[in-house]
């Protein structure tokens, strides 16, 4: 879907990002001043049914402190806006070449190309590209603009028991924006949820919890070595935050994306389920199959393919769910 916000702001919000070529910091990055009024919104997806109860609007924010190799939203890893290319839509009109202030766009006999080392993602080429061959991932949005978009579906929230879910990327990186927009939604009578992977200082999450009805917490592995190899950190901060969160009285759901060869074994899921079984205020535990939709997005960003990961079959998912049920009463697929 196309991001809901329109236009381009001259000031971009700044948040912590993965280091280098997607490698996340072992220790969560230090707090970086963030404009209270703005956050980089990747997409606002209406009529979501997989990000919490009822019919929901899911707001995806850019920027993540993990670096999962299989990420199905790779355009959400960096906080800054990013140019996406879809060559099959290009008609070689050359408008992007004319308007690019950096000379990053090129039109040659072999086709159009962009020098990503020169491109600053100003968005001028996107404004001129009427075929959709060039799009911008991410737009700065204010609390008021997000609330206006979310509020369009109040009637569906009321009738279905739904609401709004803030996802990413990692939405918790965007404090205090996140706390402000959650507070505004609560004041408007909208059920609130956040989807988080937990790799940040506890105080960042605590700031948002006052205004959250449900936390969807991702746990990919409890093996430090696996975590380092596939996610970019040892996971200790994540597990510590999860345990602390379980004592706060907030409704909690824990979710595991099942990815081969990362965590699609009985031993891996058994270890995660044992951890989750220790938690208070747990609504359910869910296994979510990996899907390769992120590969097309990686190509659009000029990123290399991730060829090591694959999706488990239904039989494997059912078998792993049975493993989790040895420790947990409510396991979903």
Q: What is the CA radius of gyration of the chain?
A: 20
**CB under 8 A, 24+ apart: contacts of 238-243:** 238/197, 238/198, 238/199, 239/198, 239/275, 240/202, 241/198, 241/200, 241/202, 241/205, 242/198, 242/217, 242/275, 242/279, 243/278, 243/279
- The domain 38-81+138-332 having CATH identifier 3.40.50.1970: the answer here is no
Q: Which CATH code is given to the segment(s) 85-136?
A: 3.30.70.20
State the pLDDT at residue 34.
42
State the pLDDT at residue 110.
85
For residue 42, give the 3-state DSSP assignment: strand
Beta-strand relationship, 139-142 and 56-61: unpaired
Distance CA 124, CA 95 (A): 10
Task: Give the residue range(s) of CATH 3.30.70.20 domains in the chain.
Answer: 85-136
**How far, CA to CA in Å, does 216 sit from each of 35, 184, 203?**
26, 20, 18
Take residue 126 and report the two structure tokens written for it.
Answer: 């996107």
State the pLDDT at residue 217.
98
Helix axes 177-187, 143-150, angle to 10 degrees: 40
Contact by Cβ (8 Å): 295, 311? no
Per-residue pLDDT of the chain (333 residues; tens, 9 = 90+): 333 333 333 333 333 333 333 333 343 443 333 445 799 999 999 999 999 999 999 999 999 999 999 999 999 999 999 999 999 999 999 999 999 999 999 998 888 999 999 999 999 999 999 999 999 999 999 999 999 999 999 999 999 999 999 999 999 999 889 999 999 999 999 999 999 999 999 999 999 999 999 999 999 999 999 999 999 999 999 999 999 999 999 999 999 999 999 999 999 999 999 999 999 999 999 999 998 888 999 999 999 999 999 999 999 999 999 999 999 999 999
**How far, CA to CA in Å, does 37 sit from each of 115, 174, 180, 191, 236?**
32, 11, 9, 22, 32
Contact by Cβ (8 Å): 244, 274? no
pTM score, whole prediction = 0.86
Task: Give the residue range(s) of CATH 3.20.20.70 domains in the chain.
Answer: 38-81+138-332
- Is the peptide bond between 169 and the residue preceding it cis, with omega within 30 degrees of 0? yes
Contact by Cβ (8 Å): 166, 181? yes
């Amino acid at each position: 879907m196309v991001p809901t916000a329109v236009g381009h702001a001259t000031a971009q919000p700044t948040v912590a990002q993965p280091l280098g070529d997607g490698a996340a910091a072992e220790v969560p990055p230090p707090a970086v001043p963030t404009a209270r009024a703005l956050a980089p919104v990747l997409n606002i997806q209406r009529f979501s049914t997989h990000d919490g109860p009822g019919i929901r609007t899911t707001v995806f924010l850019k920027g993540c402190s993990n670096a999962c190799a299989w990420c199905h939203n790779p355009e959400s890893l960096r906080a800054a806006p990013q140019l996406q290319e879809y060559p099959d839509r290009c008609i070689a009109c050359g408008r992007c070449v004319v308007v690019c202030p950096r000379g990053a766009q090129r039109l040659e006999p072999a086709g159009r190309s962009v020098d990503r080392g020169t491109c600053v993602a100003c968005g001028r080429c996107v404004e001129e590209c009427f075929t959709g061959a060039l799009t911008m991932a991410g737009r700065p949005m204010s609390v008021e603009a997000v609330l206006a978009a979310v509020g369009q579906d109040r009637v569906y929230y009321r009738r279905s028991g739904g609401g709004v879910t803030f996802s990413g990327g990692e939405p918790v990186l965007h404090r205090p924006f996140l706390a402000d927009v959650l507070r505004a939604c609560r004041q408007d009578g909208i059920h609130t949820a956040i989807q988080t992977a937990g790799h940040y200082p506890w105080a960042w999450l605590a700031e948002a919890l006052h205004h959250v009805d449900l936390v969807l917490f991702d746990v990919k592995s409890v093996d430090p070595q696996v975590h380092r190899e596939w996610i970019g950190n040892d996971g200790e901060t994540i597990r510590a935050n999860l345990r602390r969160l379980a004592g706060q009285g907030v409704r909690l759901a824990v979710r595991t994306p099942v990815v081969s060869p990362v965590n699609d074994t009985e031993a891996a899921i058994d270890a995660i389920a044992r951890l989750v079984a220790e938690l208070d205020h747990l609504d359910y535990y869910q296994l979510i199959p990996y899907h390769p939709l992120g590969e097309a997005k990686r190509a659009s960003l000029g990123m290399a393919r991730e060829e090591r990961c694959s999706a488990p079959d239904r039989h494997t998912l059912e078998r792993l769910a049975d493993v989790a049920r040895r420790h947990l009463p409510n396991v979903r697929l």
